[in-house]
Amino acid sequence: MYSNKIGIRLIKLRGEKSQTEVAKALGISDSALSMYERGARIPRDSVKVKIAKYYGKTVQSIFFD
Instruction: For residue range 9-56, list pLDDT tens digits in order.
Output: 999 999 999 999 999 999 999 999 999 999 999 999 999 999 999 999
Which domain, by its residues, includes 21? 2-63
The size of the chain, in residues, is 65
CB 9 within 8 A of CB 62: yes
pLDDT given at position 29:
97
**Based on the structure, what is the number of domains in the chain?**
1
Which residues, other chains included, contact 41 with Cβ-Cβ below 8 Å and sequence gap of 6+? 3, 32, 35
Q: What is the CATH number of the domain that holds 48?
A: 1.10.260.40
The pTM assigned to this predicted structure is 0.92
